[in-house]
Amino acid sequence: MSRIINVFILGLFISSFALSQTIDNKSTFSVSLDTFRLYDKVRQREIPIAIYKPKTDKKMKKQKIVIFSHGYGQNKGGDYLAYSYLTEFLASKGFFIASIQHELPTDSLLPLTGIPQIVRMPFWERGADNILFVIHELKKTNPNLDYNQITLIGHSNGGDMTALFPQKYPDIVRKIITLDNRRMALPKTKKTKIYSLRSSDQPADEGVLPSAEEVGKFGIKIIKLPNTIHNEMDDNANERQRKEIQNYVLTFLNN
């Protein structure tokens, strides 16, 4: 079975890579960045966010939204700014990007022992709740955005939050794109389009990735990046890796 899945993923990689090469990476817009802190009174929780958006004098109708969730940063802070090669790029293409800082210095550290799907679930649920709160706040402050076209993107632990969200809160987001989430199983649904870029060095836990049959049934796209390791999906990525990830993500968003 694993061999069949590997062959299927390789086929997806080849066909999607050819498609990604047609994307023009030249920026269309310059980008503005604004950082501020939201506050969820119900949970009594502060939520720092960064907004990346295209600079333009023209009003953009039905602007699509991307909510980004960072990988685990040991509560040091600032991780919501650590994927600028991707968030700025997408904003330059006309997307409205909200990047969430999920970890606060006062939070408990992510458990590194025990069954991840059990001990880390409260952290993923908190992240899903953060995402939901940010979406609700954006509706108040930016009512002209297209809330029928929300995409979630997340790396590693943020990818696990992203994978959980449409299962906990269905019918809110159109697509999810995970960058090497390894613990939370990807949703199996036709209501949300599911995409995942996989690293060359870190395998996912059993059951996280769909079977070859499920990939076909639900239209899930899984792409392996043979030259990118797990820890090189943030701003540690080199120029070649950045362009490859940018191209795939933009292809997914435009698909």
Q: Report percent pLDDT > 70 for the chain.
A: 89
Q: What is the pTM of this model?
A: 0.90
> Which of residues 90 and 2 earns the better pLDDT score?
90
Q: 56-60, 99-103, 186-190, 241-245: which has the minimum mean pLDDT?
A: 56-60
DSSP strand E in 64-210: where? 64-69, 96-100, 146-155, 175-179, 193-198
CATH code for position 92:
3.40.50.1820
**pLDDT digit string (tens) for 183-240?**
999 999 999 999 999 999 999 999 999 999 999 999 999 999 999 999 999 999 999 9
* Number of domain units in the chain: 1
**36 burial via Cβ count (<10 Å: 0-12, 13-18, 19+):** exposed
What backbone torsions phi and psi does residue 19 show, to the nearest 5 degrees?
Answer: -65, -40
Q: pLDDT at residue 170 above 70?
A: yes
**pLDDT at position 28, please?**
86
Provide the residue range defining the domain that includes 235: 2-254
- Answer whether 223's CB lies under 8 Å from 20's CB: no
**pLDDT at position 61, please?**
86
Label the pairing between strands 146-155 and 45-54: unpaired
Mean pLDDT of the chain: 91
d(CA 65, CA 55): 15
Q: pLDDT at residue 11 above 80?
A: no
Q: pLDDT at residue 4 above 70?
A: no
**pLDDT at position 8, please?**
42
**pLDDT at position 247, please?**
98
**pLDDT at position 27, please?**
55
Mean pLDDT throughout 119-147? 98
Q: Helix, strand, or coil here: 239? A: helix
**pLDDT digit string (tens) for 83-125?**
999 999 999 999 999 999 999 999 999 999 999 999 999 999 9
